[in-house]
Structure 1
Amino acid sequence: MVTLVDRTKPVLRHPEKAKRPDTPVLRKPDWIRVRAPGSPVWRETKDIVRGNGLVTVCEEAGCPNIGECWSKKHATFMIMGDTCTRACAFCNVRTGLPQALDPDEPQKVAEATAKLGLEHVVVTSVDRDDLADGGAKHMAETIRAIRAATPGTTIEVLTPDFLRKPGALEVVVDARPDVFNHNLETVPSLYLQVRPGARYYHSIRLLDRVKLLDPTIFTKSGIMVGLGEVRNEVLQLMDDLRSADVDFMTIGQYLQPTRKHYPVKEYITPQAFSAYQTIAYAKGFLMVSASPLTRSSYHAGDDFARLKAAREARAKVGAGAA
């Protein structure tokens, strides 16, 4: 992920995060380990990002997939700054009072998309509870700028929940992204500890409303596991997403960014991820990505092509049955 940011500013973490006691960090199993980045294409991607005055959240969040993704020139742009108005216990993005929006940012993101030659781009943002619309208009402007600069690029947005921002969702949907992603992050019983600023059922309703506003937009949501959830809670969450007609679900292992963050309670085995994937497909999702290293935008371009193919195949089956 990339965001426009002034690196001369000191990094100030939210006081609530600083106050959290150190928690033990479990030793990572072999299936979590990845190779360090450093390929020629990775360096080329890094140069393009730096040359456009961008900073990667992939680096700052310590994403395990940065080597692979950057070696394929895959990028996720994080807009509206690098400072979030919330302090989720799992997230390493800084928290505080964000700066004003950069009116040129949508065009800068569009230009970077063109330079990287992206066929599929993911645009996300920090939570901007300080803005009347939560940043919805800025995100819509970014979608339209990318469309104008690279009409062949498919666009996926990973949005905040726009909690208490009436009309914000409609603004983003009206810009017609190809995929609308909003992550639940975890099961409802853990929201107070892990995602205290959010509301589980509000997020479910948000995803449901996207389909009501525009049934042609693919919807997507993801969770982390290993936070202390139990299997039946994950299965119920799958049912909740299907009740909202969500097309695509991602499930990945939670990795604790620092000792001040919420601890990893368990490393879920690859076999357990495979079982979750099988169950999710049986519940009716068009696409499921479940593995220890799965992240929201991991293999997003390839997955979008598979998502379209799955919808077309299901439509043909439905037509044949009729």
Structure 2
Amino acid sequence: MSMVFVTQTGSRYHASADMPCLENASGTALVPLETAVAGGLQPCITCDAPPVPESSEGDRQWLRAIDDWARAGVFESFWEQAFARRVLASTAGISSDDVEPQCYISVGSETYKVDFSVPKAGLVLEVDGYAKDGAPLTASDVERRNRRDAALQTHGLTVLHFSNAQVQQEPQACRAQISGAIAARTTPVPPAVVQPVPQVEATATPPSPRSSRGLLIGLAAASVVAMVGVLLAVNSGSVDIPAVASPSVASSVAASAVAGAGPTTAGAAEPLAEGSCPAAFPIKGNINDAGERIAHTPGQQFYERTDAEECFADLAAAAAGGFRASTR
């Protein structure tokens, strides 16, 4: 595999980082040639960089759309164009007509600009790793991003984040995560996204002790009322009654009713064996040593090291399950 050097803001790729043409570059990265081409870069004409390969990813419709977006100046970074070519162009379930790059979404009184939107599936796709000027993201950048994500998710949108490294090294995994999120959606979303999108089927969760006690009390009260009615009817001679079931039988009926009466949480799923979450439920719910229930979003500081105890489709589902959004 041919490797070339790129800069954060340049329009060309280079054969070596020691070339005079890179003397004033603030920083370089070594990437596969196909990644540089997917990002719309051209070979440097002064350092004998390898030519653009004849074959490209994606079908002709996608390639035309990406070229049109690039000519119109839609992409704000090299990695956004690389994401479109390496990930979106080969993702099952969406075409270039389904995707809106660099678009605005209004939520209440706020308007947010997102890297890519797939309105029919209620998806927002973000490419992370650097600010638009090529500098690494700061803590305030991440905090601002998390607030925006929470606002979008409370309106029914699923927000997926992909790092520059994932775009470069794991395009297939990125495609699988997007396809899974699309499959989880059951209702199309109109272009002006302002309403929640229905989530996938609810996953049953065990009944809480409080709800179980309440149901038992209700069943016991109902049993008492029924017994009083039967006794009154017998004393009046208006009815012949067979043998009444013993209290132990009534208790077993109540217990079996409780066992199947657990509440459900929409947009939740069990974590995988290794503590990760299914692609359609990327939010990791974790209870820390202090007993706090915290929801971690992909791309956040502690996401990768966190073992999920519950998984959610978005922050709205996590909040419904009692988890607050992580601030880091």
Please give the TM-score of this superposition, normalised by the length of structure 1. Answer: 0.31
Q: Report 1 or 2 for greater relative contact order, CA contacts < 8 Å, sequence distance ≥ 6.
A: 1
Return the index of the structure with the highest Cα Rg.
2
